[in-house]
Amino acid sequence: AILQGVPAPFAVPAGCFALTVTEVEHYTDSLFRFRLARPATFRFRSGEFVMIGLPNAEKPVFRAYSVASPSWDEELEFFSIKVADGPLTEHLQKIRPGDTVLMRRKATGTLVNDALLPGKRLWMFSTGTGIAPFASLIRDPETYEKFDEVILTHSCRTVAELRYGEELVQGLMEDPLVGELVSGHLRHYTSVTREPFARQGRITDLITSGKLFDDLGLPRMGPEEDRAMICGSMAMLRDTKALCLSHGLEEGANNKPAQFVVERAFVD
């Protein structure tokens, strides 16, 4: 007999995992995070990205998402924008626990510890959802084995957009397992550009004026001690990269580690 009313099972495209949503949290009209059950066979390096899609179409739309959870975690976390008419995010923003999300099997990316030479200090420059790869890296013990000081900067248009990062860092400091690892080594520096806030301005302006370094009591960036990772919009990447270069840092890659690396915050 025909099973009436039961939706036809969708086909999982080749090279994809079909993963169950375990948690969804909305922050603003335009930001949310979700967590997926992690397949036992999926391996990635903290800071890498994967391709995410939904099983609701014959030809699913895939977009790159940085994994925001560390490589040791049993689940996979993602931090996403919501775009009203975005081919993926207009649907993705409606997912609930128990739903299925598609994820391609291969992770890749340049915001990984392997792409940087060892150094004293690691700067993580992020705007908006560009904080996602750093949410992974600040929870990875390897980051603190390689760098004595880790500074995560996060700049957003509004105060509400900082909440994901604030809760993340606070949770990390209070965590009985990793708290000891990060305390005294990790610093979180936030700024807002379109509302009143304790620290205002684009990260590029805060670097140029030197306010960032003065606020933290640190010397200006330089090639001997400092390493950097950058993640944000195309314009933010271009301008922050130019500042890293003007401070004497050289761009690295997986096969040629150097002093800074760049990766775009993908979905737009």
- Site residues, ligand A2P (CB under 6 A): 127-128, 155-157, 193-194, 202-204, 232-233, 235-236, 239
Rg over alpha carbons for the chain, rounded to the nearest Å, is 19
Q: Least distance from C-beta 232 to ligand A2P, angstroms?
A: 6
Give the integer Cα–Cα distance in Å for 14 and 32. 28
Alpha helix segments (H runs only) across the chain = 89-92, 132-137, 141-146, 163-174, 179-182, 203-209, 211-216, 234-246
Give the integer Cα–Cα distance in Å for 3 and 134. 47
Q: Least distance from C-beta 238 to ligand A2P, angstroms?
A: 7
What lies within 8 Å, CB to CB, of 73 at 6+ separation is 38, 139
Nearer to ligand A2P, 150 or 207 (CB): 207
Nearer to ligand A2P, 60 or 232 (CB): 232
Q: What is the DSSP letter of 200?
A: B
Nearer to ligand A2P, 92 or 103 (CB): 92
Taking alpha carbons only, the member of 237, 2, 228, 233 closest to residue 111 is 228
The SS3 of residue 4 is coil
Nearer to ligand A2P, 113 or 129 (CB): 129
Q: Least distance from C-beta 55 to ligand A2P, angstroms?
A: 29
Q: Least distance from C-beta 249 to ligand A2P, angstroms?
A: 17
Q: Least distance from C-beta 81 to ligand A2P, angstroms?
A: 8
Contact 209, 173 (CB under 8 A): no
Nearer to ligand A2P, 144 or 189 (CB): 189
Q: Least distance from C-beta 105 to ligand A2P, angstroms?
A: 29
Nearer to ligand A2P, 28 or 193 (CB): 193
Give the integer Cα–Cα distance in Å for 21 and 161. 23
109: number of Cβ within 10 Å:
21
Nearer to ligand A2P, 190 or 259 (CB): 190
Give the integer Cα–Cα distance in Å for 105 and 91. 21
Q: Least distance from C-beta 175 to ligand A2P, angstroms?
A: 28
Give the integer Cα–Cα distance in Å for 102 and 116. 31
